[in-house]
Structure 1
Amino acid sequence: MVDILLPELGEGITSVEISDVLVKTGDVIKVDDTLIVVETEKASMEIPATEAGTVENVQVEKGGTISPGDVIISITGDGVQTEAISDTPPPIEETAEPQNEVKSDPLAPHNQGEESTLSLA
């Protein structure tokens, strides 16, 4: 089971009021699905899921208050990662040089068959 926490919302914000809870136990959520809507003194903010899975437990309720770091929901299943993720990216496959490569000479004249004349007088 993975807990999804309320992230830091800004400097000086120590708690917010929950104006809406958009998930319930049993819901299947994806990353970036909105979980709750919170109100600060200045704004209303949607709080998205940071993991995907099935909601096992909703820890908040509409009208309540929550602080950064508090648990919003607990999830299990689909998006819960049980293996450590490697910090190294997958190897990049080397490709052969492209065939029929056209190389241009930036100093070569570009008059494509037309004669050009320059008058100095």
Structure 2
Amino acid sequence: MGLILVNYNNKRCISCVHPSEEIRSPPPRGLSVGKKVLALQSVYRALIGPLLQPPAMPPSEDYPTLALHPDHSPRECYLNTESYKIYILQNSHYHLFVLFPPALPIHIARQVSQRTLTIFTKGKTPKF
């Protein structure tokens, strides 16, 4: 339904949401475009810093490393609500946030997110 891809090396990001639910003549059952954008933005703001560290930033003092081994940091996580599901991947200098319908199984969301990140980052460095 939507995504945010952040490239910390180039200090760029790309985002998009799927607007097709609003084009139908009956009232949409899913989230509006504005609510999709707000969901992605709020999850990004909530997780970057407290849980996921941008590669260029050293962990802050309140970063939850006390429970983690010093060599380990989270690479994937997801958020599930009644209205949506967001899968988050952290890979070298990228963060990918993908918005899914709530009924989608989490293992499918993981596979789609991993393939999406591979498509965006495979081969040449994307110029976004």
Alignment TM class, shorter chain as reference: under 0.3
Using structure 2 for the length normalisation, give the TM-score: 0.24
Q: TM-score, normalised by structure 1?
A: 0.25
From the two aligned structures, give the one with the greater helix fraction.
Answer: 2
More strand, by proportion: 1
Q: Which has the larger radius of gyration?
A: 1
